[in-house]
Amino acid sequence: AQSVTQLGSHVSVSEGALVLLRCNYSSSVPPYLFWYVQYPNQGLQLLLKYTTGATLVKGINGFEAEFKKSETSFHLTKPSAHMSDAAEYFCAVSRGGTSYGKLTFGQGTILTVHP
Amino acid sequence: DTGVSQNPRHKITKRGQNVTFRCDPISEHNRLYWYRQTLGQGPEFLTYFQNEAQLEKSRLLSDRFSAERPKGSFSTLEIQRTEQGDSAMYLCASSSDRGSNQPQHFGDGTRLSIL
């Protein structure tokens, strides 16, 4: 079975400050990992994904995440927050190497950006 | 690429009524997924289609729920005899079957409210 834990249901930062959203996963097989963003009353948009290869993954809108197998973590960062980053962020895991990718999501982290 | 389309966006109904939602995936995507998202939670997997075949169903999908994808294109999710606990956002996603774990593209969801 797979699971995802997102530490902190709410994170608040000032505009221009570092954004750090934490994600830890549990998986009995090598995982594929994803970060999605959700704006109010909308679906989820893929920010970035890790499958294999380079452990530092760059995504859209200046976000990046690093896969750390020893820590079972996949934290999301952005050097400088923008007001438009305010949204809810979800970390998700799927079984690596399977023929399709059923996603297991964390509970989400709401990011608030203050002027 | 017109994206994943879901209709209706909102559905309000009385307890005990039947409801049906529709999902039109990205045209070249063979894989289609349904998820349910309740307030303050991450999406939870409901079911998965490869073309017209329903290959996996979650235990969350009770006997009152049925999903179809008759021609391998659009899909419908029907809930019979709705209950208060069915109030949620129902999300549809699709992905390509070229390679494993292709990223899923989500629609904006159907928000169901049971009175």
In chain B, what residues touch A103 (CB-CB under 8 Å)?
A: 33, 35, 43, 45, 104
- The predicted-structure confidence for A57-108, as pLDDT tens digits, reads as follows 999 999 999 999 999 999 999 999 999 999 999 999 987 655 567 899 999 9
The pLDDT assigned to B87 comes to: 97
The pLDDT assigned to A1 comes to: 77
pLDDT value at B1 more than 80: no
The nearest CA of chain B is from the CA of A79 a distance in Å of: 25
In chain B, what residues touch A8 (CB-CB under 8 Å)?
A: none
Distance CA B74, CA B24 (A): 5
- A95 contacts A2 by C-beta, under 8 angstroms: yes
The nearest CA of chain B is from the CA of A13 a distance in Å of: 20
- The predicted-structure confidence for A9-68, as pLDDT tens digits, reads as follows 999 999 999 999 999 999 877 789 999 999 988 889 999 999 888 889 999 999 999 999
Q: Are strands B31-37 and B53-57 parallel, antiparallel or unpaired?
A: unpaired
Average of per-residue pLDDT across B43-62: 92
**B28 touching A (Cβ < 8 Å):** no
The nearest CA of chain B is from the CA of A114 a distance in Å of: 22
**Residue from B44, B100, B102, B110 whose CB has the most chain A CBs within 10 Å, to mutate:** B100
Average of per-residue pLDDT across B88-112: 89
- Bridge partners, residue B23, by sequence: B6, B75
Q: Which CA distances in Å does B80 have to A34, B16, B27, B52, B104?
A: 33, 7, 28, 22, 27
